[in-house]
Amino acid sequence: MNSCSFTARWNEALLDENYQKWQRSPCSVGSDWAAFFEGFELGTTQSAKNGAPTSPPGIDEQRVLQTKVDGIIHMYRVLGHSIAKLDPFSEPPPQQAQAAFALESLGFKASDLEREVSSHLFRADKKFKLRELILVLERIYCSSLGAEFMHIQDACRRNWVSERLESEQGKEEAAVASHCGSILRTLYKAETFEHFLHANYVGHKRFSLEGAESLLVSLQTLIDGCEERDIRQVVLGMTHRGRLNVLANLLHKPLEAIFNEFDHNVLPKTEGSGGDVKYHLGYHTIWKGQTGHEVQIHLAANPSHLEAVSPIVQGRTRALQNISGDNQDGKGVLAILIHGDAAFAAQGVVAETFNLSQLPGYQTEGTVHIIINNQIGFTTVPSDARSSRYCTDVAKMVEAPIFHVNGDDPLAVHTITRTALEFRQNFGKDVVIDIICFRRHGHNEADEPTFTQPSLYKKIKGHPLLSDTFLKKTEELGIIESRQAVIWKDKEIERLEAALTQSRLKADDRRATSEKSGINNGPAAAAAIQPSSYSHRPVQTAIRSAMLDEIMQALTTVPEDFRVLPKVRRMLLERRRQIWQARGPYDWGIAEALAFGSLLLEKIPVRLSGQDSQRGTFSHRHSILHDEITCERYIPLNHLSSSQAEFCVYNSPLSEYAVLGFDYGYSMECPSALCLWEAQFGDFANGAQIIIDQFISSSEAKWHRQSSIVMLLPHGYEGQGPEHSSSRLERYLQLCAEENMQVCNPSTPAQYFHVLRRQIHGKYRKPLIVMTPKSLLRHEQSVSKAQDFTNSRFFEILSNPLDHKQPEKIQRVVFCSGKVYYDLLQYRATHQLGELVVLIRVEQLYPLDEEEVVRVFQRYPSTAQVIWCQEEPSNMGAWTFIYPQLRRLLGCEISYVGRPASASPATGFSFTHKKQQAELVKAAFGF
């Protein structure tokens, strides 16, 4: 929408400026503005030119009054949150905001307060005295709850929120009174747990929930609401703040296991592995409601990198929605994200994840976001942490309703949480609950907060416990008796003491208990399987010739009434048919389609996601065809067989961080699917470095969580400059250890085909990092024959001994990986050096098949010079990783040939690139 149009959002300055222009000269503004002002003038012109009133006496006054009354209602809906009583320390709202709601500012006099008024905008024209109307609006919009929803442009959603908030409150209060007992018990659980840890584990980091105990009330309300709304699964992501409390009191992780972690008792299944701190661990449990309704709750493990878990939760949720088969269009699986106020406003991945929320390939039918807004980030106050008024303003980008609520009013937290869940279930959109609270201790329990916030922590020190204030309120209302409250609290303390005693049994008994309630407690989930070792044993990945023909038939056929662009028909369909009929040679695009198609026919779903992945950055894929007249889409790979699995390919938004996180999360819950994320160029993948470092490479070591995500990273030096040459291969290799992932650089279409199929048919689940081609996509030598797909497999080391009839004459053994092989091959052929130099391709750099490397090398004389040749600078690429391994395995010195060390991956000048490339290829042969 044009921001200079009168149809854009209200802009008083722009309106006034154009109105003045129009008055001076009607032609000086656009036709739409002119029509608007003509209508405006017409509507305000008196019908009687002699100045006679247009309405009977008193009517104009009533209209003015009605306009003011309607204005009050609108004012409270739009800005009531600005004067709401949200602060637990009863800090008054800004004076400017209060002044806006003064009677005079609203256009009334004190004498108007007793006038009877009504509005069709509020409670169906019910009559109020003005004084009563203002009091009702203040109670709705300015009490412990402040609602922001008037930014929602969809009238249906906006009106739903206002009607929900403005409904007769007596009914709601009567309904929630029955929940006061459970709310108080929840508060006792939260408080006694923290106090117990504080007394028994002095100085231990636990990132206490104290000051924000209402979070547990909100979460329990959501889980209880799942029973009413037939929600079967919940995926929960949260910060370190309060995590142990949530584990203990919502997911019911055995207290003995938690205490064991404080006592540094290593669980048997984590012994010898990396492990992680207790406030990062995930968990899985089954919650059972009063009617027997079961809800599986998955708490995602996460690192200290704030908000990194957000897209992962979304991906896991989408996967569970796809495989759950519920009849609610995915609403039977709920995503809940718990944020800190400082991170929610500051971390860019929050906005990236919101951007995914309504996209076809990534939407999850709405997420409930809860902010633990303790009004401080470590030592940083909000005025230093954000430019916006609220930490939640980022959520307005998707027009999510935002409910600010005073954390010291757990009843209000309970009520608005029910509203938030109902909104999500009704509309499938995100909703935000901002719990304004405080942090009773420092950032962690070893931190001293008075160094930087002495005044604030003086207030906090004297602030009463939330359970005490809530009990007092319910006692005054005659809902709960103090005697009953004491029994509930004592019961919680007894439960904690018994668990601590149990956890401190003799070592053998303790380990047995821990094993029973360890990391992977609960039913076996796809994301929680036993660790598996990588094996170099060949995997059967070849397909039958009949299957190849079946796939090629689909790839070269479209419905008769589907009008493909002539250029696409000629360059893609007809060319593919010619290749098929000639039985090859097959290029990379076809090889990938054969890999995908064969898996689909084997009932293995395939999901591919990335920037421009439907067509492919280099126009090599064309997985979706478009009708040139109707723009209808046709996906050939979804027309292989009536019993095949589904192929899903999505163009992602221009984001790496959130999208890779989403796809990683998706892969965790779908171990039987091939899940791929593709970078537009591999150079851009470092925009998702946190996902790569903290999850993909290390989740198995830290959390025993495995994934078979495939990362496709276009890589190769072709003179396109420092940002379009390198996938930073060295960074992935630096992360490799303990068989944590696979890093491959295939040099032929068939090798690519087999490594994709191996990812499914191998007996292990490891992430696969693939350096994919760019110029090789159309290289005349980088092709494969039909038998390479039907009678072969993936080779981790490629060397053709038939090229050398007299291996004893070999003087130089050149190891290389990827595209540079073809430059070396051409030079060797041109200079007839085939009898003297052997080229060995390392197709899989990690895990390196050491036995195969040695076996291949032993064919040649021990006196031969050994070279590692690469395109990348010496401080990049595989050199620093491969050198010590080759030297150890081969027992000889390894010489380096490649570009010299460089701060930048590649030159930006084409002529320099060509010169460097020619020199390194020549040097590989000793010239």
The Cα–Cα gap between 751 and 744 comes to 10
Confidence (pTM): 0.90
Q: Which two tokens stand for residue 166?
A: 């403005």
The CA-CA-CA angle for residues 442, 448, 451, to 5°, reads 115
Residue 365, helix vs strand vs coil: coil
| Whole-number pLDDT of residue 723 | 96
Q: At the topology level of CATH, where does 545-790 sit?
A: Rossmann fold (3.40.50)
> How distant, in Å, are the alpha carbons of 331, 485, 742, 744, 769 from that of 847?
41, 60, 6, 9, 12
CATH of 59-143, one of 3.30.70.100, 1.10.287.1150, 1.10.10.10, 2.60.40.10: 1.10.287.1150
Q: What is the CATH number of domain 797-924?
A: 3.40.50.11610
**Which residues, in sequence order, are bridge partners of residue 340?**
372
Do 898 and 874 form a contact (C-beta atoms < 8 A)?
yes
For 373, list phi and psi in degrees, rounded to 5.
Answer: -95, 80
Q: Which two tokens stand for residue 717?
A: 């030096």
- Which residue stretches of 229-283 are H helix? 243-249, 255-262
Which residues make Cβ contacts (< 8 Å) with residue 841, sequence separation at least 6?
747, 797, 798, 799, 816, 817, 821
With CA atoms as reference, report the closest residue to 82 among 68, 103, 98, 104.
98
- Which residues in the chain come in under a pLDDT of 70? 1-15, 22-23, 26-27, 30-59, 168-176, 265-273, 326-328, 506-532, 801-803
Q: For residue 773, how many C-alpha atoms fall within 13 Å in the half-sphere facing its CB?
A: 28
Kindly list the domain boundaries of the chain, sorted by start residue.
12-44, 59-143, 175-516, 545-790, 797-924
| Whole-number pLDDT of residue 36 | 59
Whether the domain at 59-143 and the domain at 797-924 fall into the same CATH topology: no
The Cα–Cα gap between 394 and 398 comes to 8
| pLDDT tens per residue, range 246-261 | 999 999 999 999 999 8
Q: Which two tokens stand for residue 292?
A: 């027997």
Task: Give buried/exposed letters for 130-169 (b at 16+ CB in 10 A, else e).
Answer: beebbebbbebbbbbbbbbbbbbeeeebbebbbebbbeee
Q: What is the CATH number of domain 175-516?
A: 3.40.50.970
| Whole-number pLDDT of residue 442 | 86
Do 752 and 592 form a contact (C-beta atoms < 8 A)?
yes
